[in-house]
Amino acid sequence: MTAVAQPLPAARRPKRMTPARWGLYAFIFITALYFLLPLYVMVVTSLKPMAEIRQGNLLALPIAPSIEAWVKAWTSACTGLTCQGIKIGFLNSLRILVPSVAISILVGSLTGYALSLWRVRGANILFGAMMVVAFIPYQLFIYPLVRVFSFTGLGQSLLTIVMIHTIFGLPTMTLLFRNYFASLPVELFKAARVDGAGFYQIYARIMMPMATPMIVVAVILQTTGIWNDFILGLVFAGRDNLPMTVQLNNIVNSTQGERAYNVDMAATLLTALLPLAVYFGSGRWFVRGIAAGAVKG
Amino acid sequence: MQKSNVDIRSLQIGFGGLKVLENLNLHVEASEFLVLLGPSGCGKSTLLNAIAGLIDVKGGEIHIGGRDVTWAEPKDRGIAMVFQSYALYPRMSVRRNMSFGLKVAGTPREEIERRVGEAAQMLRLTSLLDRRPSELSGGQRQRVAIGRALVRHAGVYLFDEPLSNLDAQLRAELRVEIKRLHARLSATMIYVTHDQIEALTLADRIAVMQGGVIQQLDTPKKIYREPVNRFVASFVGSPAMNFIPGRIACDGETGFIAGANRLGLNGYAFRGLPTDARAVLGIRPEHIELTASDDPSAVSARVEMVEPMGADTLIWCRLADGTTFSFRDDADAKMREGDTLALRFPAQALSLFDETSGQRL
Amino acid sequence: MRLSLTSRFSAISALLPALLVMLVVYIGATSWTVWMSLTNSRMLPNNNFVGLRQYETLLGNDRWITSVHNIVIYGVLFVSFALLIGFLLAVAIDQRVRAEDTIRSIFLYPYSMSFVVTGLVWQWLLNPTLGIQHVLRSWGFENATFDWIVRPETAIYCLVIAGVWQASGLVMAIMLAGLRGVDEEIWKAARVDGLPKWRVYMSIIIPMMGASFATAAVLLSTGVVRLYDLSVSMTNGGPGIASEVPAKFVMDHLFERANIGLATAAATTMLITVIAVVAPYLYWRARKGEMR
């Protein structure tokens, strides 16, 4: 370079906090506030009595914190028709969640396994098609499926909603497990074949035990996905099995007369509790789940 | 184009509590080709990155071209650098890869064009200027990376294992190209590698490093012939130097005793006065000579295995006491497994190391 | 290796559920929906073919026009802001900041929450009587107004605020993975070249991150077309029909207004939009895959 010949002003050890660094932390701090604000407001509102909410400041800490609103939200908030609180929805969601997660992972892993390691004719076409249809909005399927289920006599029921979650979870689950099995050394599979193991034996004895990390990711992905579902539960679960999200919306949005914001927020937090627990409990696994789900196609 | 010298004074580098380099001194002359050679983790890349200003130092000073640049930004140090992974900007054409730094620095356009054209011509890249890195072979990519360094007209060129990602044949080709470049520009070059062949072929001087310490700084010939310790001796040279344990005996004519054999050491340049002590004898395979079986200084050994290597043959032998070693003979060597050979170990080609410290005696 | 007959049979049996789902649900149901959109089905599906009349009706329907208008505004703003904020956050976190894990958790936790929860929280925050507007006024900004959620012309922007809050963390996670994948030596080379950091991002890093941007954009866009829960829980399409969206239009006409023909025509229109977004992306990915 031509400029290097001139002496530099006495080179100094650089300072730790440059203005750019300050700007960086300021940016992070301000965005963090935007992201944390709703959670904070939810918590403080749910702990305030209504009088305090009406007079006070949204952001103020509760003067006389009480868990009354939580109790009410859990046991006696009205969802339009009944007033048994959101615990009904919580139990419904659990009853939907457990079999849906288990079955969708079972079917998805088996499909992924068959598509990755066994050269079945047309497997690639099937897989490609599954990746494409994963993008289609539910509105295209909902009405025909309602008709099909009522035709088969299942109608709206727990079994229906579990089947629906399995169906709509299939593309993502298949993708997840197919890619994972495809990344394992193929020699492993060949060795098992040479030892005379059959299709289901290899799946149950060798592949699934090795797929523990993917199972964790799949459980996280499906648990948050199914728990957070609204539209499928609304349409397919039936009045007796409405999931928590639907109940929550009913509690908050169908209230007649004065709204009990503290109860609303307590119910909202209760609904968000499980996914939040999964998220904070699983740490980087959640990110891995997103990354795995994000590589659709 | 100016050529800068580099002066490193009691440099210290550490990450957290880990000390990578401690109190390291090194002087590189202007126009010199210096190779930093060592196994991975020896601190050679750390040292090069410190010279480039890519990592912070804990203590000591770095001077380039007589200026203290210890805390200067990389761009203000008058250096240019070539990386192992090429580190080309993937979405830019070859031309833009080479010119981008100059453009950002505000160099006039004609000057940029002149320098890019010159470098491209030197590296035979002229026809590739409008291609993207993804459309180039590994060797072409590394030539572009060298070109990007050249256009900076720097006082010092730094190479961080530039050939490690290439296959053997390309590596050999590019090695010649770099050597030619140095001859043509006679620029100061500091080159990091773990490949001793690269070091021996390219360097004016080699600094062999281990454990963050320069073990030996010398010409390739000296490094090869007179390694200062067992590490240098074993790291440089392929096939590796043979090591035979034994002891030095000063009774009468100084000699080396290994089992039943006694080797005369007349002609070996001891660094100090020889004393009776346990020692390790080092000799390179090509320095061992066949001799007549009635030669009084002959060592008798049995052939264990013969490895034809194309240009020559490597013969593995065993001494009576079980020590094995190899020696090199020409391609049409006739030895067979089980033969007994009479061999001579010329004293001036030997290296003797202290058994415990490993230092040359 | 040739497959034995039993193994082959087993493999096919394992694929049967997927095949069935594919044919019946995805292809069968979609075709039926498209077919119904060409009939004059009302309460129940019938087979009276009416050509494209439902689509004509759709184009003349105020509520549909508003829905489409809204989804375009929402889509453009939501995708741009989520990409921008997500990318900036990823870049910020990539600067070796302290407490990186905590910061990342803060930005990503909304993504674990449902749209219903998101909608209800923001409905409360944006409530003009007691929400943020109230806070601003109580701080002495007497004339502060932030009543977007009750004003027809601005209600849709409230959905954007909530949506961006929920989804930016996802973009951040994708972008951060992309940034961490950049060869360390490219950064070193850029420093030796004397490029300022912003310049490195603009001229080198962003062009390298095409795949990350495309993935994030496609994920966000498919979410846009599906937008339903947020509109239902946050504004229920209101005030009036000011924040209606296509997915809600379909649902309402299927289950409340008993106009299956119109609903399926709307659904088919959504499908065409999705194909227009996704097909080029999938094609691009497939070609990239082949080139590798």
Residue pair C47/C39 in contact by the 8 Å Cβ criterion: yes
Residues in B closer than 8 angstroms to C198, CB to CB, are: none
Which position has the token pair 């098609």?
A: A129
Whether residue C188 and residue B91 make contact (CB cut-off 8 A), yes or no, is no
Average pLDDT over chain B reads 90
Report chain C's C-alpha Rg in angstroms.
24
Q: Which of A87, A238, A100, A80 shows the shortest CA–CA distance to A157?
A: A238
Residue pair C167/B68 in contact by the 8 Å Cβ criterion: no
Pairing of strands B59-64, B67-68: antiparallel
Residues in B closer than 8 angstroms to A5, CB to CB, are: 2
Number of domains chain C is built from: 1
pLDDT at A136: 85
> Is pLDDT of C3 > 70?
no
Residues C72 and C91: their CA atoms lie apart, in Å, by 28
Instruction: Output the domain CATH number for residue C213.
Output: 1.10.3720.10
pLDDT at B284: 93
Residue pair A156/A149 in contact by the 8 Å Cβ criterion: yes
Give yes or no for B114 touching A (CB within 8 A).
no
The chains in contact with chain C, meaning 3 or more Cβ pairs closer than 8 Å, are: A, B
Give yes or no for C211 touching B (CB within 8 A).
no
Residue pair C108/C169 in contact by the 8 Å Cβ criterion: yes
pLDDT at A291: 66
Residues A286 and B238: their CA atoms lie apart, in Å, by 50
Residue A62 sits at φ, ψ, to 5 deg, of -60, 135
CATH among 1.10.246.90, 2.40.50.140, 3.40.718.10, 3.30.1330.30 for B242-354:
2.40.50.140
Any idea how long chain C is? 292
- pLDDT tens profile C91-106: 999 888 888 888 888 9
Residue B36 banded pLDDT, cuts 50, 70, 90:
very high
| Three-class secondary structure assignment of chain C | CCCCHHHHHHHHHHHHHHHHHHHHHHHHHHHHHHHHCCECCCCCCCCCECCCHHHHHHHCCHHHHHHHHHHHHHHHHHHHHHHHHHHHHHHHHCCCCCCHHHHHHHHHHHHHCCHHHHHHHHHHHCCCCCCHHHHHHHCCCCCCCCCHHHCCCCHHHHHHHHHHHHHHHHHHHHHHHHHHCCCHHHHHHHHHCCCCHHHHHHHHHHHHCHHHHHHHHHHHHHHHHHCCHHHHHHCCCCCCCCCCCHHHHHHHHHHCCCCHHHHHHHHHHHHHHHHHHHHHHHHHHHHHHHHC
pLDDT at A8: 45
Residue pair C220/C71 in contact by the 8 Å Cβ criterion: no
Superfamily of domain A88-250+271-294: MetI-like (1.10.3720.10)
Give yes or no for C121 touching A (CB within 8 A).
yes
Please tell me which residue of chain A has the smallest CA distance to C226. Answer: A137
Q: Which residues of C137-154 are buried (b: 16+ CB within 10 A; e: fewer)?
A: eeeeeeeeebbbbbeeee
- Shortest Cα distance, chain C CAs vs residue B236, angstroms: 28
The predicted complex's ipTM stands at 0.86
- pLDDT tens profile C247-273: 999 999 988 888 888 999 999 999 998
- Shortest Cα distance, chain B CAs vs residue A15, angstroms: 11
Superfamily of domain B6-235: P-loop containing nucleotide triphosphate hydrolases (3.40.50.300)
Residue pair B30/B199 in contact by the 8 Å Cβ criterion: no
> Quick check: helix, strand or coil at residue B88?
coil
Give yes or no for B154 touching A (CB within 8 A).
yes
Whether residue B76 and residue A4 make contact (CB cut-off 8 A), yes or no, is yes
Residue C250 falls within a domain, yes or no? Answer: yes
Mean pLDDT within B53-73? 90
pLDDT at A292: 65
Q: Which residues pair with B300 in a beta bridge?
A: B342
- pLDDT tens profile A95-148: 999 999 999 999 999 999 988 887 777 888 888 888 888 888 888 889 999 988
The CA–CA distances, whole Å, from A260 to A47, A48, A89, B112, C132 equal 12, 11, 19, 71, 18
- The more confident residue out of C131 and B143 is B143
Give yes or no for C291 touching B (CB within 8 A).
no
Q: Which residues of B48-66 are buried (b: 16+ CB within 10 A; e: fewer)?
A: bbbbbbbbebeebebbbbe
Residues A142 and A140: their CA atoms lie apart, in Å, by 6
Q: Which of B54, B141, B148, B151 to mutate to test the interface with C (most CBs of C within 10 A)?
A: B54
Residues C7 and A203: their CA atoms lie apart, in Å, by 12
Taking residue A258's Cβ as centre, other Cβ atoms within 10 Å add up to: 8
- The more confident residue out of B28 and C43 is B28
Residues B211 and C111: their CA atoms lie apart, in Å, by 48
pLDDT at A294: 56
Q: Give percent of chain B above pLDDT 90.
A: 59
CB pairs under 8 A between A and B: 27
Long-range contacts made by residues A150-156, C-beta under 8 angstroms, separation at least 24? Answer: A155/A238, A156/A235, A156/A236, A156/A237, A156/A238, A156/A239, A156/A241
CB pairs under 8 A between B and C: 68
- pLDDT tens profile A15-67: 567 888 888 999 999 999 989 999 999 999 888 888 888 887 888 888 888 88
Q: Which of B285, B295, B218 shows the shortest CA–CA distance to B37?
A: B218
Whether residue B85 and residue C185 make contact (CB cut-off 8 A), yes or no, is yes
Taking residue B167's Cβ as centre, other Cβ atoms within 10 Å add up to: 10
Residue pair A113/C13 in contact by the 8 Å Cβ criterion: no
- Give, in degrees to the nearest 5, the angle at Cα B173 between B170 and B177: 130
Domain boundary assignment for chain B: 6-235, 242-354
Instruction: For residue B329, give the H/E element and its range.
Output: strand B324-330
Please tell me which residue of chain B has the smallest CA distance to A11. Answer: B71
Residue B315 banded pLDDT, cuts 50, 70, 90:
very high
DSSP line for A89-131: HHHHHHHHHHHHHHHHHHHHHHHHHHHHHS--TTHHHHHHHHH
pLDDT at B204: 94
Residues A190 and A198: their CA atoms lie apart, in Å, by 11
Alpha carbons within 13 angstroms on the beta-carbon side of residue B200 total 14
Average pLDDT over chain C reads 87
Taking residue B26's Cβ as centre, other Cβ atoms within 10 Å add up to: 19
* Angle separating helix axes C155-180 and A284-294, nearest 10 degrees: 100
Please tell me which residue of chain A has the smallest CA distance to B156. Answer: A1
Instruction: For residue B60, give the H/E element and its range.
Output: strand B59-64
pLDDT at C96: 83
Q: Which residues of A148-176 are buried (b: 16+ CB within 10 A; e: fewer)?
A: bbeeeebebbbebbbbbbbbbbbbbbbbb
pLDDT at A296: 40
Written as six digits, the tokens of B288 are 């061992």
Residue C185 falls within a domain, yes or no? Answer: yes
The chains in contact with chain A, meaning 3 or more Cβ pairs closer than 8 Å, are: B, C
pLDDT at B80: 93
Whether residue C97 and residue A110 make contact (CB cut-off 8 A), yes or no, is no
Residues in A closer than 8 angstroms to B78, CB to CB, are: 1, 4
pLDDT at B26: 93
Residue C39 falls within a domain, yes or no? Answer: no
Which position has the token pair 């800068």?
A: B4
DSSP line for A177-228: HHHHHHHS-HHHHHHHHHTT--HHHIIIIIIHHHTHHHHHHHHHHHHHHHHH
Residue pair A78/A256 in contact by the 8 Å Cβ criterion: no
Give yes or no for C18 touching A (CB within 8 A).
yes
Residues C204 and C191: their CA atoms lie apart, in Å, by 12
Give yes or no for C182 touching B (CB within 8 A).
no
Please state whether the peptide bond connecting residue B239 to the residue before it is cis, i.e. omega within 30 degrees of 0. Answer: yes
Residues C143 and C248: their CA atoms lie apart, in Å, by 35
Residue pair C264/C34 in contact by the 8 Å Cβ criterion: yes
Residues B61 and B7: their CA atoms lie apart, in Å, by 8
Long-range contacts made by residues B102-105, C-beta under 8 angstroms, separation at least 24? Answer: B102/B151, B102/B152, B104/C193, B104/C194, B104/C195, B104/C196, B104/C199, B105/A1, B105/B75, B105/C194
How many DSSP H helices and E strands does chain B contain? 8, 20
Point out the least confidently predicted range of A3-17, B137-151, B250-264.
A3-17
Domain of residue C236: give its range. 61-291
- Shortest Cα distance, chain A CAs vs residue B70, angstroms: 7
Give yes or no for B77 touching A (CB within 8 A).
yes
- Shortest Cα distance, chain C CAs vs residue B196, angstroms: 24
Whether residue A27 and residue C88 make contact (CB cut-off 8 A), yes or no, is yes
- pLDDT tens profile C133-188: 888 888 887 777 787 888 888 899 999 999 999 999 989 988 998 898 889 999 99
Whether residue A120 and residue C281 make contact (CB cut-off 8 A), yes or no, is no
pLDDT at C187: 93
Residues in B closer than 8 angstroms to A10, CB to CB, are: 68
Residues B61 and B68: their CA atoms lie apart, in Å, by 7
Residues C164 and A38: their CA atoms lie apart, in Å, by 13
pLDDT at C289: 63
- The more confident residue out of A244 and C240 is A244
Please tell me which residue of chain C has the smallest CA distance to B135. Answer: C291
- pLDDT tens profile B202-227: 999 999 999 999 999 999 999 999 99
Residue pair C188/B54 in contact by the 8 Å Cβ criterion: yes
pLDDT at C2: 52
Whether residue B90 and residue C191 make contact (CB cut-off 8 A), yes or no, is no
Residue C139 falls within a domain, yes or no? Answer: yes
Instruction: For residue A20, give the H/E element and its range.
Output: helix A19-46
- pLDDT tens profile B247-294: 998 887 888 888 888 888 888 888 888 888 899 999 999 999 888 888
pLDDT at A14: 59
pLDDT at A1: 38
Residues A2 and A24: their CA atoms lie apart, in Å, by 34
Residues A34 and C165: their CA atoms lie apart, in Å, by 8
Q: Between C185, C196, C208, which is nearest B83 by CB?
A: C185
Q: Which of C182, C191, C193 to mutate to test the interface with B (most CBs of B within 10 A)?
A: C193
Q: Which of C117, C135, C201, C215 to mutate to test the interface with A (most CBs of A within 10 A)?
A: C117
Residue C178 falls within a domain, yes or no? Answer: yes
- pLDDT tens profile A181-235: 888 888 888 888 888 888 888 888 888 988 888 898 899 889 988 999 999 999 9
> Is pLDDT of C86 > 90?
yes
Residue C159 falls within a domain, yes or no? Answer: yes
Whether residue C185 and residue B104 make contact (CB cut-off 8 A), yes or no, is no
Residues B123 and B110: their CA atoms lie apart, in Å, by 20
Please state whether the peptide bond connecting residue C239 to the residue before it is cis, i.e. omega within 30 degrees of 0. Answer: yes
- pLDDT tens profile C176-230: 988 988 899 999 999 999 899 899 999 999 999 888 888 888 888 878 888 998 9
Whether residue A144 and residue C33 make contact (CB cut-off 8 A), yes or no, is yes
Q: Which residues pair with B246 in a beta bridge?
A: B279
- pLDDT tens profile A138-177: 888 899 999 888 888 888 889 999 999 999 999 889 988 9
Residue A293 banded pLDDT, cuts 50, 70, 90:
low
Which positions ≥6 away from C102 have C-beta within 8 Å? none
Whether residue A1 and residue B152 make contact (CB cut-off 8 A), yes or no, is yes
Q: Give percent of chain B above pLDDT 70.
A: 100
Residues C88 and A172: their CA atoms lie apart, in Å, by 28
Residues in A closer than 8 angstroms to C93, CB to CB, are: 28
Report chain B's C-alpha Rg in angstroms.
24
Residues in C closer than 8 angstroms to B164, CB to CB, are: none
Q: Between A58, A252, A276, which is nearest C131 by CB?
A: A58
